Amino acid sequence: MTTETKTETRGFETEAKQLLHLMIHSLYSNKEIFLRELISNASDAADKLRFEALSKPELLSEDNPLEVRIEVDSENKTISISDNGIGMSRDEVITNLGTIAKSGTAQFLESLTGDQKKDSKLIGQFGVGFYSAFIVADEVEVLTRRAGTNADEATVWRSKGEAEYSIAPAEKAEVGTTITLHLKKDEAEFADQWRLRSIVKKYADHIAIPVLMEKQQAPGADDDAEEKDAATHEKEFEPVNDAKALWTRPRSDVKDEEYKEFYKYVSHDFEDPLQWSHNKVEGKLEYTSLLYIPARAPFDLWNRDAARGLKLYVQRVFIMDDAEQFLPLYLRFIKGVVDSNDISLNVSREILQKDPVVDSMRSALTKRALDMLEKLHKKDKAAYNKFWKQFGQVLKEGPGEDFANKDKIAGLLQFTTTASEGDEQDQSLADYVGRMQEGQKKIYYLTSESLKSARISPHLEIFRKKGIEVILMHDRIDEWLMSHLQEFDGKQFQDIARGELDLGDLEKEEEKEKKEESEKEFKALVERIKDQLKDRVKEVRLTHRLTDSPACLAIDDHDIGLQMRKIMEASGQALPETKPIFEINPDHPLVQRLDKEADEDRFADLVSVMFGQAELAEGGQLDDPGEFSAHLNKLLLQLTQ
Ligand code: ADP
């Protein structure tokens, strides 16, 4: 049977097809990245072979050192990228190059907008990998032989990047993979040694194995030598990079550009990182870490199964991607590399989970990551705000997850407050504390469904009148966050919709006296309202937190708030019913009118409408809309009579 007869044509998986199409059309302004992606894959393949050779040393040989070769054929307009790494079996070729194994791919495709500019950013976050070859090539051939298999067990894969690919058995003398790109007519510029060399240099400098290209004659060099080369067809190759793992180099040697490129390599991100931190630790534990804060959240930040964690090396040998044991979940957006001298080379994920060395490293790396955020927060507020927009909600998981670093994390939180100019969460707790009034002992906050409903909350009235700043929390996680934060900088937090209002020293003596007086004056009214609302409320009482509204709802000190209730109910927990406290404003004309209302029917109408309004002002729903409308309509009819 000839090879030809065994050629099989297969269709791409639908998702791969969609992604291919999209990528080719949205990434053309950033074409040269195909080289970065293919060199990265080649280098990963070398890493994987080195790893496999830990248990099968025969897979590596001294006279065949791991390397990547890039060759250009300017006549036929092809580029080939060869590695002598792990290679792929036929089945691996089918799964790796015919499908997209990433979790959340369908979800990602759904999130696309059709706007090319926006989509190209998204696709950058998604990571295009191997398929980026089709940005410049109209045909791609992959010839590959898995390490540990024979020369006649190789596979060749070909595709024009449209709907299908072909796959056939092949022969390959060496283990590894050669990818040949047949350049599109318009992309022939890439089939130029010098042009390619400069791109390779840019993307290969941080790669830990040599990336070789054909040695070039300097212009005007010895013509005889050229003739001799041509005669023997013996090509000479030389490394274009310095082939040293970037994190092993001293910090002072590494340029910012190199750090940025390396980030793109480890994270598959297209954008530059916001910040990085490169450290070598010596002493009881020895390791090097290079941590990055990305500028943009990956599309699957909220996907529980999404890959996260650092790339783990042990004594410079690649061990695994996405080692999630080195950082807590709330720092899952951090990317980077950790290279340890204390972990055993044959470590597995299960062993990592139990290794005390990993625990110590995890605490140190967590601290390192938080320090890096602190530094960004102090030095570059604009960049920090950018970070916050992308990852703030994740960091808010921190105080609940990491007791030891609670205070440190609290210092990194940002919120919108009544003093914010716009809607951004750009005020830190330290900013707030710095603006506290004389006599103010607490940090006041309010949680609400949205910023809009927070801003119009009646609970703010007294604070506005007295010019006291209030933090307006409106992220879903905020109430949960606040259940883990009791104080900041020695100042307690106070939810202004919870419990009785106590402004402490911010309240004047005469205000306190007035309060006592009205307590007496309206005692009977409070009782009457209680009789009216019965078990719809936990309590009815006077309040002094209102200036404009007649009434509002408060929650009892230890009751579960609305946001928290929603989160818990969504996670399937049954919660006991909690009832609000109905608070009325003795200074409001409606309340005073109510006090004088002798007609019980009319009294019931007014109370019902006031209660309904208070429910709505909380951003909540009416607990009995029918009852509310009936009473309101009765009042309206009286108006028209
Ligand atoms: P990613 O690298 O993000 O996983 P790619 O689309 O770039 O995605 O590659 C898909 C898979 O194909 C890789 O995960 C790897 O298993 C395999 N692969 C790609 N290039 C090579 C190569 N040169 N050698 C061996 N395997 C490769």
β 539-542/581-584 pair status:
parallel
Per-residue model confidence (pLDDT) at position 159: 93
CATH code, domain with 447? 3.40.50.11260
**Is residue 114 domain-shared with residue 18, that is, in the same domain?**
yes
Counting ligand 1 atoms within 8 A of each CB, the residue from 130, 266, 311 with the most, and so the one to mutate, is 130
Task: Please compute the mean of the pLDDT values over residues 379-405 and round it to a whole number.
Answer: 96
Classified as helix, coil or strand, 491 is strand
Give Rg (Cα) of the chain.
33
**Is residue 494 domain-shared with residue 525, that is, in the same domain?**
no
Residue 125 has pLDDT above 70, yes or no: no
Does 399 fall in a domain?
no
Q: Give the amino acid at 557.
A: D
**Is residue 535 domain-shared with residue 476, that is, in the same domain?**
no
> Could you give the CA distance from residue 631 to residue 413 in angstroms, rounded to a whole number?
45
For ligand 1, atom 14, name the residue with the nearest CA.
Answer: 96
Per-residue model confidence (pLDDT) at position 228: 52
Q: Is 631 exposed, middle or buried (0-12, 13-18, 19+ CB in 10 A)?
A: buried
Q: Where is average pLDDT lowest: 216-230, 285-299, 308-322, 331-345?
A: 216-230
Closest-CA residue to 247 (of 201, 208, 212)? 208
Does 405 fall in a domain?
no
Residue with tokens 């804060």: 293
**Is residue 256 domain-shared with residue 374, that is, in the same domain?**
yes
**Is residue 192 domain-shared with residue 139, that is, in the same domain?**
yes
Cα 298 to averaged position of ligand 1 atoms, centre (Å): 19
Cα 88 to averaged position of ligand 1 atoms, centre (Å): 9
Classified as helix, coil or strand, 524 is helix
**Is residue 548 domain-shared with residue 445, that is, in the same domain?**
no
Cα 33 to averaged position of ligand 1 atoms, centre (Å): 15
What confidence category does residue 1 fall into, taking pLDDT thresholds of 50, 70 and 90? very low
Classified as helix, coil or strand, 525 is helix
**Is residue 347 domain-shared with residue 429, that is, in the same domain?**
no
For ligand 1, atom 7, name the residue with the nearest CA.
Answer: 129
Strand 487-488's sheet: what is its strand order? 427-428, 414-417, 471-473, 442-447, 491-495, 487-488
Residue 358 has pLDDT above 70, yes or no: yes
Q: How far apart are the first and last CA of the chain?
A: 99
Residue 28 has pLDDT above 50, yes or no: yes
**Is residue 329 domain-shared with residue 446, that is, in the same domain?**
no
Does 10 fall in a domain?
yes
Does 634 fall in a domain?
yes
Q: Give the amino acid at 241.
A: N
> Could you give the CA distance from residue 71 to residue 212 in angstroms, rounded to a whole number?
9
**Is residue 565 domain-shared with residue 606, that is, in the same domain?**
yes
Q: Is 584 exposed, middle or buried (0-12, 13-18, 19+ CB in 10 A)?
A: buried
Cα 98 to averaged position of ligand 1 atoms, centre (Å): 11
Q: Which of 242, 270, 294 represents a domain boundary (last residue)? A: 242
Q: Which of 191, 208, 242 represents a domain boundary (last residue)? A: 242
Domain count, the chain: 4
For ligand 1, atom 25, name the residue with the nearest CA.
Answer: 87
For ligand 1, atom 11, name the residue with the nearest CA.
Answer: 96
Atom number of ligand 1 nearest to Cα 81: 23
Does 403 fall in a domain?
no
Q: Which domain holds residue 628?
A: 509-640
Counting ligand 1 atoms within 8 A of each CB, the residue from 69, 83, 86, 96 with the most, and so the one to mutate, is 96
Counting ligand 1 atoms within 8 A of each CB, the residue from 27, 44, 95, 99 with the most, and so the one to mutate, is 44
Task: Please compute the mean of the pLDDT values over residues 206-218 and round it to a whole number.
Answer: 86
Long-range contacts made by residues 90-98, C-beta under 8 angstroms, separation at least 24? Answer: 90/155, 90/167, 90/169, 92/146, 93/142, 93/144, 93/155, 93/157, 93/167, 94/10, 94/167, 96/130, 97/130, 97/142, 97/157, 97/165, 98/10, 98/12, 98/13, 98/16, 98/165
How many whole angstroms from its chain centre is CA 635? Answer: 52
Cα 435 to averaged position of ligand 1 atoms, centre (Å): 54
CATH code, domain with 148? 3.30.565.10
Residues 6+ positions from 590 with CB-CB distance below 8 Å: 550, 606, 610
Any bridge partners for residue 428, and if so which? 414
Per-residue model confidence (pLDDT) at position 190: 93
Percentage with pLDDT > 90 across the chain: 61
Cα 133 to averaged position of ligand 1 atoms, centre (Å): 12
Cα 180 to averaged position of ligand 1 atoms, centre (Å): 15
Per-residue model confidence (pLDDT) at position 562: 76
pLDDT in tens, 493-523: 999 998 888 788 788 888 888 888 998 999 9
CATH code, domain with 271? 3.30.230.80
Full DSSP string of 29-91: GGTTHHHHHHHHHHHHHHHHHHHHTTT-GGG--TTS---EEEEEETTTTEEEEEE-S----HH
Per-residue model confidence (pLDDT) at position 522: 92
pLDDT in tens, 164-188: 899 999 999 999 999 999 999 999 9
Task: Please compute the mean of the pLDDT values over residues 10-31 and round it to a whole number.
Answer: 78
The H or E element containing residue 18 is helix 14-26
**Is residue 535 domain-shared with residue 612, that is, in the same domain?**
yes
Atom number of ligand 1 nearest to Cα 127: 3
Cα 130 to averaged position of ligand 1 atoms, centre (Å): 6
For ligand 1, atom 23, name the residue with the nearest CA.
Answer: 42
pLDDT in tens, 127-141: 678 888 998 999 999
Does 13 fall in a domain?
yes
**Is residue 128 domain-shared with residue 188, that is, in the same domain?**
yes
For ligand 1, atom 8, name the residue with the nearest CA.
Answer: 129
**Is residue 621 domain-shared with residue 546, that is, in the same domain?**
yes
Does 448 fall in a domain?
yes
CATH code, domain with 585? 1.20.120.790
Which residues form ligand 1's pocket by a CB distance below 6 Å? 37, 41-42, 45, 83, 85-88, 96-97, 127, 129-131, 177, 268
pTM reported for the whole predicted model: 0.83
Name the region of 291 (left: φ>0; alpha: ψ -120 to 50; beta: rest): beta
Cα 452 to averaged position of ligand 1 atoms, centre (Å): 47
Q: Which of 506, 528, 555 represents a domain boundary (last residue)? A: 506
Cα 161 to averaged position of ligand 1 atoms, centre (Å): 16
Closest-CA residue to 503 (of 537, 463, 472)? 463
For ligand 1, atom 18, name the residue with the nearest CA.
Answer: 41
A 10 A CB-CB count for 523 gives: 11
Cα 117 to averaged position of ligand 1 atoms, centre (Å): 26
Per-residue model confidence (pLDDT) at position 240: 92
Angle at 490 between CA 489 and CA 494, to 5 degrees: 100
Residues 6+ positions from 307 with CB-CB distance below 8 Å: 103, 321, 322
Does 303 fall in a domain?
yes
Angle at 446 between CA 440 and CA 450, to 5 degrees: 150
Classified as helix, coil or strand, 204 is helix
For ligand 1, atom 1, name the residue with the nearest CA.
Answer: 129
- DSSP letter (8 states) at residue 498: B
